[in-house]
Amino acid sequence: VRGPWISDTPWRLAVPLTIAFVLTAVLEQGTVLSAMLARPIRLACGHAAMLAVALSWAGAARLAPAVAGLAAGVTFVASATPVGAVLYLSPGLVIAHLARRGRLTRAGLGVACPWQAVVGGGLIGAMLAGHLIVSGSLTFGYRPAFVVTPALLGAIAYDIGLQVPATELFLRGAVFNRAQRHASFVIATAVTTLLAVARYLVDPLLPASAALVLGMVFYVSVLSVAACWLFARHGSLAPALGASTVFFVAYRLLGSR
Amino acid sequence: MSTAWWWRTGAAVALVTVTVSIALSGAHPDALLRHALVLPVVVVAIRDGGARGALAGLAAAALHAPFVLPHIEREGLTYRAAEGLVTLVLLAASGVVTGALAGAVTRERRRYATLMKVQRAAGGDTGTIHAVAARLHAAHADAIGPADIGLVLDAGPERVTVGVVPFDRATIEAVMADRRPRFLYDADGGTRARRALAVPVHGRARVAGVLCASRAGEIDAGDRATLEALGAYAGLALENAELAEAQRRAAVELDARIAAATRHLRELDAAKSAFVAVASHELRTPLTALAGFSELLSTRRFAPEAVQHFAGVMRTETARLVRMIDDLLDLARLEQGHEMALHRTAVDPCTAVRDAVAVFGDGTTAPAIDIDCGADVPAVHADPDALDRVLKNLVSNARKYAPGPLGIRVRRRGGGVEFSVQDRGPGIPPDALPHVFDPYYRAPATAGRVRGSGLGLAVVQALVHAHGGTIEVESATGAGTCVRVTIPSVS
């Protein structure tokens, strides 16, 4: 049961979104577009493209344009106003609804999974985040900031509602899931981890510092390997979602130097 | 909670405790306590193998890194920092290397345990193919750890399947045809990819079947190599078991043959002993008659009629003596593997029959012999003397065992002429019938009652076969006996 690597890919949706993403990045680099305008466009295009591919590969191709459109829309609205950040939760809720209705089982959502596995995933994310906080504060002087601000809440909403679900659905539910049916676990994990690193390297929110980029590569790689292992071990995306969610929420607690 | 869980939890607690201790004792990158991090890593690696050992090593390195990296950030790459960096590398490497070694040891242990089970399963009393398949399947249950094992064995036109076989018939046949394993990254399309491997079970001569393993999760290169080796071993073990079974059967068969041959030789020996006794008596009787009458004729005077009578008796006894000695000589020649020397010519069968029965009287002193000679009976291609001996032996036998009337029929049959001698005697017992042509054999029921050497029918059979003819006996107790001899005709 293998099937072609890239069957069911929504080219008509993914290709324009990817072109828009790249074009925006180029225009931003050339200072034709301001960062204020370019970043929401890149975020919207990136997440929409990932969700479109993930949903289509999961057999929900008819829903892909709507969910991708919703993700892009809320990204624009949420970028415009701090209060609008709560809208980031809506794609996550839609995905949860689809999972409950059994539309995303081929992506590992809505399938039976023991709660211990989800807790285990959360623990892995917490350990990695704890390490990040300790080493970040000791090495780079980033101190954890436990002050709840609208920006922090908005960032957490972005992670919980859009960034983590879209990324996990794409990387684990789609890419790794398909790769492991064509190649060994090591190769599938390597491919997925390379894509994960690439995905966060092009993230417009990543600070432009070599040390931080190296740290990102390390933590994203470890998180990706752990998430792939959890997915392969349990056949469910829930533990990987737990690990990523806990890790990124904890990451948001890192304040400035 | 399982024992493994407690070990892993204990190792995690130990790692955290050592890390906290290092932190409390100054958080130096080269703290002496850092060496204690190796212990839980090695314990996890030995117990759980490569993957978890590597994870434990990475976890230990990650826990120690916050003591090393900030030091480098603050003071550069000092001697202490270098020691810390070496520790990080060693912690990660110790987990990977120890885990890999432990994994290899576990794999080898499983392989040897499975080999022993396969040896036991294939050996001994092999039983039916289904029983062998069930035993081999059970022997492979723990070949690569938790996995579904399936076995397909070649049983001629059909395939005997035991356990889980996630491959279709065509794939199984392909594995058997080219002796190459097949691997599926995903056998059933479930949410967890299910790996499946099919390896040939092949010996030196043939492919005996296919061994399959499948599980949700990885079947790595080491496990695949293990299964391939086990498939080859199972094939050899099956082949050896089949050879041993064939050898055992051959030995049993040989024993039976030797026993039968020994029994036959003993019977033959007993028969020869009996023959010697009988022959001595049979030879002595005519000799006694000849000696007595010749002495009478040489010492006394008799009337011409009496002399003629004595001469007749002496002639009859001499003929009997000659016949017996001829039989003995023929039989001796046959037993030594010599063919009978025949001087074949065209012989009229009816004339041969009439000449042969003439010596048995004309019916006034003995029961009449009814000769029924067909009209279109052709001449036979036979040695006249040999044919005469055959016929006289048959008639003589019938006379000895069946004193009543006798019938001889001569008919054309196929490409030859059939002579059937039918008596109305008591018949031959069924258990004696298969042995009537054995040399020296005499039916126990008549051995003490009727004179004879047990050579007559053996010699007859040899003579008939020398002519290219056939002989058969038909008899029923109380209904007489019929001996049919067929001799090829001249045409």
Sign of the dihedral defined by the CA atoms of residues B354, B355, B360, B366, in that order: positive
Rounded CA-CA distance B291/B271 in Å is 29
Mean pLDDT by 10 residues, chain A (257 residues): 74 92 88 84 91 93 91 86 84 94 91 92 92 80 77 89 95 93 91 94 72 85 94 93 94 72
pLDDT of residue A255: 64
Record: contact B191-A135, CB cut-off 8 A: no
In tens, the pLDDT along A185-213 reads: 999 999 999 999 998 887 766 676 777 78
A28 CA to chain B: closest CA distance, Å?
A: 33
Record: contact A235-B192, CB cut-off 8 A: yes
- Please report the DSSP string for B54-82 in residue order: HHHHHHHHHHHHHHHHHHHHHH-S-HHHH
pLDDT of residue B240: 82
Q: Dihedral (C-alpha) B122, B125, B128, B130: value to the nearest 10 degrees? A: -40
Record: contact B220-A232, CB cut-off 8 A: no
Record: contact A139-B70, CB cut-off 8 A: yes
Pairing of strands B369-373, B406-413: parallel
pLDDT of residue A1: 45
Interface mutation vs chain B, best among A185, A187, A189, A229, most B CBs within 10 Å: A185
Record: contact A135-B193, CB cut-off 8 A: no
Alpha helices in B123-180 (DSSP H): 129-139, 169-178
B25 CA to chain A: closest CA distance, Å?
A: 16
- Taking alpha carbons only, the member of B79, B83, B75 closest to residue B33 is B83
Record: contact B191-A183, CB cut-off 8 A: no
| Residues in chain A closer than 8 A to B218 (CB atoms) | 184-185, 232
Closest-CA residue of A relative to B185 is A181
Record: contact A180-B191, CB cut-off 8 A: no
pLDDT tops 70 at residue B448:
no
Total residue length of chain B: 491
Instruction: Choose among B58, B66, B220: nearest Cβ to A138.
Output: B66
B171 CA to chain A: closest CA distance, Å?
A: 14
A177 CA to chain B: closest CA distance, Å?
A: 8
Rounded CA-CA distance B391/A140 in Å is 127
Record: contact B186-A2, CB cut-off 8 A: yes
| Residues in chain A closer than 8 A to B50 (CB atoms) | none
Comparing A135-139, B148-152, B387-391, the range with the smallest average pLDDT is: A135-139
Long-range contacts of the stretch A212-218 (C-beta < 8 A, 24+) = A212/A140, A215/A132, A215/A135, A215/A136, A215/A140
ipTM of the complex: 0.77
Q: SS3 for B214? A: strand
B70-88 burial, b if ≥16 CB within 10 A, otherwise e?
bbbeeeeeeebbeebbebb
Q: Give chain B's mean pLDDT.
A: 86
Rounded CA-CA distance B102/B83 in Å is 27
CB B481 within 8 A of CB B402: yes
pLDDT of residue A96: 94
Mean pLDDT to the nearest integer, B202-213: 88
Mean pLDDT to the nearest integer, B220-245: 87
Tell me the pLDDT band of B29, cut-offs 50, 70 and 90: confident
Record: contact A131-B186, CB cut-off 8 A: no
In tens, the pLDDT along B421-438 reads: 998 888 888 888 888 888
Residue written as token pair 């885990």: B99
Alpha helices in B300-370 (DSSP H): 304-335, 349-358
Closest-CA residue of A relative to B221 is A184
In tens, the pLDDT along B314-349 reads: 888 888 788 778 877 877 777 777 777 788 899 999
Mean pLDDT to the nearest integer, B244-250: 86
